[in-house]
Chains A and B, each alone.
Chain A
Amino acid sequence: MTTDDAFDLECLGICKDFGAFRAVDDVSFRIPSGTFFSILGPSGCGKTTLMRMIAGFETPTQGDILLKGRSVLSVPPNRRNVKMVFQHLALFPMMDVYENIAYGLRCAGAGKDEIAGRVADVLTRVALPDLARRQIHQLSGGQKQRIAIARCMALNPDVLLLDEPLGALDLKLREAMKIELKLLQHQFDTTFVYITHDQSEALVMSDYVAVMNAGRFEQVGRPEELYHAPKTAFVAGFVGDSNRWSGRALEVRADGIKVETEAGLTVVATAFGDGAISAGDAVEVFVRPEFIAATRPGPDAAAPGGNTHSGTVDSVLFNGANSRVLVRSPNGTMIEADVVVTGGGNDLHEGDPVRLDWPFAQTMCFAAGGA
């Protein structure tokens, strides 16, 4: 990552306007070679537009796109070495698997033997060597997925774009394909740019994730950075689950910021993000359920540097290892906390009194409305 051409793809200050609407707003990033890079955002955030600009189907209003260090703005989409896996895969139904994969090679003017060799090679690499003569409608969902990738990879692209290709699959298959995609990316050692609105897909597969909202990149980082050190309230809310409260900073102390939420809950939180917070500011507070310990009320005092609250169990949301309790605090605030449900006598039940503890450091506080 020392020289410029170590970046397969660079976007510099990209903007895209549709009439008066700015779909993509000043987005810049560079992707090191061979990484799995995800762009994560809610639908309508501009991620598809960004991807279509990289592929060449749209032209940026402003900014530059570089592939392997070279600007490609003047290169038409059929000459860019960026290949794309479409949302619904766009496999050609009138051709069989072999012809689908051979299509790009034929366009490039490859010879018969070369095509046969490349198709066989790429089919082996996606572990479907015997399917060359299958018709597209005879393939399973997962096989189609792999053929769509193989069709692109046969052309040795600099970058492979994937536009939510797992969206159409059912849950089980989607889980399996997440791992498979990651393995395929290692296997081909090509830069993958993956677009999704599903945070778990982005977190599981990616080396780097960019969180996009309203046309802008909120934060770019490794998945664990986004999760544990979000820079904005949007990232904290969008990536992973959390309890989210709006409130007002009462006092800025050495060990944290004392916040009173709108419902009247008082917690001590740690400032995250760039905006400075002073007493009286409106703030947003996030606490992830797995950092909240829900226990039966006991005599031991609160741990130092931790928030302690009491409440009653409103309901138990059993989901195996991801089970939760929904706790109602005396002022009516609902707090979600992860628990282990063993099926034994120690489990919490509806109506049980409960004590909640979580550290100040895991109570993320952002200036509201800002950044």
Chain B
Amino acid sequence: MAHAQTNRALMAGYKAYVAAFFIFLAAPLIAAGSFAFNDSLFPALPWQGFTLDWFFNDTEPKLGMFHDRRLLSGLYYSFVIAAMVAALSVAVGTTNAFLFVRREFPFKTFFYIVMIVPLVIPGVILGISILVLASNVANAVYDRFGVEISLLRPGIFLVVLGQFSFITTITSLVITARLKKFDLSLEEAAFNLGASRARVLWTITLPYLRPAMIASAIVAFLVSFENFNTTLFLVGSESPLTITMYDRMAKVGSTPVLNAVSFVLMVGSGLLALVSVAVQRPDPSGQ
């Protein structure tokens, strides 16, 4: 009995630890989100009462986020960048999945490892190395031909490339994992029933990959949206939201409008995350 009791005590301690961990996880997010509703000029205690001014008020000093030009434009650029990165990286991730699951070629294992490497390169280094190369190319072209390629100067295009360079690893891994589970006899069956190759791809294989493609697009979108390290070096005048917020925090100091933005972002990412979980839910037929 004593043994069972110590076991029970151990288990209770273990559970308390797990609970404490989740409080640790939630605390900063709750802090960041809840001060958005505090009717005060500073995101700090004491609680001054509930307000939605930090979202909707249109006058200083409590300018709400939906009336703050710079924040809104940051949000817009973040959307544009994230959408482009998601589309590109899912497209390349899909071709990579077919390449590594369906094809045999020399040095395949080596190339597979090469595919993973961008994920473990620090984002700062991806940012500066792409910046250096793009600037070198742009300078060389300018010196020789007198043509300025503005695409290769810091700006949205470089930000997209920089984020794409490591996010593609994530999408490739997710889509590859799904394609590996594909039962090839489904394609053969479709073939046997008279479908052409293109039709098999369009009606059987791609629908099968769709959940993984949607989920990885969402992940790509979110990772792009929240990326800071790589973006920092490649950003031009069109700052995405994380950069705008960082500038605001560093230069102006924090006001609850940043909490409002945080709240909106958390709700938005939470919803997207739920969607991605829902589409990836294993279909009962899978078993």
- How many of chain A's residues have a CB under 8 angstroms from any CB in B? 27
Residue of B nearest to A83 (CB): B192
Q: Cβ of A62 < 8 Å from any Cβ of B?
A: no
Q: Given the known A-B contacts A57-B188, A92-B186, A94-B207, are A137 and B193 also in contact in the complex, defined by CB atoms under 8 Å?
A: no
- Tell me which residues across on chain B come within 8 A of A136, comparing CB atoms: 285
With beta carbons under 8 angstroms apart, the residue of A77, A83, A88 that contacts B185 is A88
Give Cα distance in the complex from A362 to B196, angstroms: 55
Q: Cβ of B195 < 8 Å from any Cβ of A?
A: yes
22 A-B pairs within 8 Å (CB atoms) are namely A56-B192, A77-B188, A77-B192, A78-B191, A79-B194, A84-B188, A86-B185, A88-B185, A92-B190, A92-B204, A93-B208, A93-B283, A93-B285, A94-B204, A94-B207, A104-B193, A107-B196, A108-B194, A135-B285, A137-B285, A152-B193, A155-B194
Q: Which of A109-147 contact B (CB under 8 A)?
A: 135-137
Residue of B nearest to A87 (CB): B185
Give Cα distance in the complex from A92 to B188, angstroms: 11
- Tell me which residues across on chain A come within 8 A of B283, comparing CB atoms: 93, 137
Q: Cβ of A341 < 8 Å from any Cβ of B?
A: no
Give Cα distance in the complex from A93 to B189, angstroms: 12
Give Cα distance in the complex from A94 to B178, angstroms: 15
Q: Cβ of A355 < 8 Å from any Cβ of B?
A: no
Q: Cβ of B15 < 8 Å from any Cβ of A?
A: no
Give Cα distance in the complex from A90 to B183, angstroms: 8
Q: Give a binary string over A94-114; 1 marks a CB under 8 Å from any B CB, 0 the rest.
A: 100000000110011000000
Give Cα distance in the complex from A91 to B192, angstroms: 12
Q: Cβ of A287 < 8 Å from any Cβ of B?
A: no
Q: Which of B208-229 contact A (CB under 8 A)?
A: 208
- Tell me which residues across on chain A come within 8 A of B286, comparing CB atoms: 93
Q: In the complex, are the beta carbons of B189 and A84 less than 8 A apart?
A: yes
Report the minimum CB–CB distance from A330 to chain B (whole Å). Answer: 55
Q: Cβ of A151 < 8 Å from any Cβ of B?
A: yes
For the complex with contacts A84-B188, A84-B192, A92-B204, 7 further pairs of A-B residues with Cβ separation under 8 Å are A57-B188, A78-B193, A84-B189, A86-B188, A87-B185, A103-B203, A107-B199
Q: Given the known A-B contacts A57-B188, A86-B185, A86-B189, are A103 and B285 also in contact in the complex, defined by CB atoms under 8 Å?
A: no
Q: Cβ of A55 < 8 Å from any Cβ of B?
A: yes
Report the minimum CB–CB distance from A55 to chain B (whole Å). Answer: 6
Residue of A nearest to B284 (CB): A137
- Tell me which residues across on chain B come within 8 A of A103, comparing CB atoms: 190, 193, 195, 203
Grouping DSSP codes into helix (H, G, I), strand (E, B) and loop, the B interface class, with mixed when no group exceeds half, is: helix
Q: In the complex, are the beta carbons of A90 and B196 less than 8 A apart?
A: no
Report the minimum CB–CB distance from B207 to chain A (whole Å). Answer: 5
Residue of A nearest to B204 (CB): A92
Report the minimum CB–CB distance from B287 to chain A (whole Å). Answer: 8
- Tell me which residues across on chain B come within 8 A of A137, comparing CB atoms: 283-285
Give Cα distance in the complex from A77 to B183, angstroms: 18
Q: Given the known A-B contacts A90-B188, A92-B186, are A78 and B208 also in contact in the complex, defined by CB atoms under 8 Å?
A: no
Give Cα distance in the complex from A107 to B194, angstroms: 6
- Tell me which residues across on chain B come within 8 A of A86, comparing CB atoms: 185, 188-189
Q: Which of A45-62 contact B (CB under 8 A)?
A: 55-57
Q: Given the known A-B contacts A57-B188, A93-B286, A136-B285, are A78 and B204 also in contact in the complex, defined by CB atoms under 8 Å?
A: no
Report the minimum CB–CB distance from A80 to chain B (whole Å). Answer: 8
Query: Which are the 3 A-B pairs with shortest beta-carbon distances?
Result: A137-B285, A104-B193, A90-B189
- Tell me which residues across on chain A come within 8 A of B203, comparing CB atoms: 103
Give Cα distance in the complex from A151 to B193, angstroms: 8
Q: In the complex, are the beta carbons of B186 and A90 less than 8 A apart?
A: yes
Report the minimum CB–CB distance from A248 to chain B (whole Å). Answer: 49
Report the minimum CB–CB distance from A68 to chain B (whole Å). Answer: 17
Give Cα distance in the complex from A152 to B183, angstroms: 19
- Tell me which residues across on chain A come within 8 A of B284, comparing CB atoms: 137
Q: Give a binary string over A134-173; 1 marks a CB under 8 Å from any B CB, 0 the rest.
A: 0111000000000000011001000000000000000000
Report the minimum CB–CB distance from A89 to chain B (whole Å). Answer: 8
Give Cα distance in the complex from A92 to B185, angstroms: 10
Report the minimum CB–CB distance from B5 to chain A (whole Å). Answer: 46
- Tell me which residues across on chain A come within 8 A of B189, comparing CB atoms: 84, 86, 90-92
Residue of B nearest to A154 (CB): B193
Give the one of B189, B196, B199 with max A CB within 10 A.
B189
Residue of A nearest to B188 (CB): A57
With beta carbons under 8 angstroms apart, the residue of A55, A78, A92 that contacts B194 is A78
Q: Given the known A-B contacts A94-B208, A137-B284, are A78 and B185 also in contact in the complex, defined by CB atoms under 8 Å?
A: no
Give Cα distance in the complex from A82 to B196, angstroms: 16
Give Cα distance in the complex from A86 to B186, angstroms: 9
Give Cα distance in the complex from A103 to B191, angstroms: 10
With beta carbons under 8 angstroms apart, the residue of B185, B194, B196, B285 that contacts A104 is B194
Give Cα distance in the complex from A337 to B220, angstroms: 70
Q: Which of B254-287 contact A (CB under 8 A)?
A: 283-286
Q: Give a binary string over B169-201; 1 marks a CB under 8 Å from any A CB, 0 the rest.
A: 000000000000001011011111111100100
- Tell me which residues across on chain B come within 8 A of A79, comparing CB atoms: 194
Report the minimum CB–CB distance from A163 to chain B (whole Å). Answer: 9
Give Cα distance in the complex from A88 to B186, angstroms: 9
Give Cα distance in the complex from A84 to B187, angstroms: 12
